[in-house]
Amino acid sequence: MKYISASEILPEDLIQEIQKYIQGKTLYIPAPKGNRKKWGKDSGQREFLQKRNAEIRQLFQQGENLDRLAYSYCLSHESIKKIVYKREI
């Protein structure tokens, strides 16, 4: 998250109003609910995990066992089970 000084983007009267509640500290202002992005959308992590999990499911369907998958992907046996047995919506 990039830091932006309030004085660069907010009008002075609004800054003075906010200062009644907080001064000299970092304040996080979340995006409106309709504008929020899903976790990992910007970083690409969500897409990476989806591809990895699809690969794991495919290997399992081709006969690879859970222990070998866990070792290959450095995941626990339980994590692999969650991935391969998860119902796709």
Four-residue CA torsion sign, 29, 34, 38, 44: negative
Lowest-pLDDT range of 10-14, 33-37, 60-64, 79-83:
33-37
Structure-block tokens of residue 89: 């919506």
Give me the pLDDT at residue 1, please.
63
Give the pLDDT of residue 78.
Answer: 95
Q: In the chain, how many domains are there?
A: 1
Predicted confidence band at 79 (pLDDT cuts at 50, 70, 90)? very high
Tokens linked to 77: 């046996």
In a domain, 79, yes or no: yes
Portion of the chain with pLDDT greater than 70, in percent: 96
C-alpha 62/C-alpha 19 separation (Å) is 61
Is 1 among the domain residues?
no
Domain ranges, residue 12: 6-85
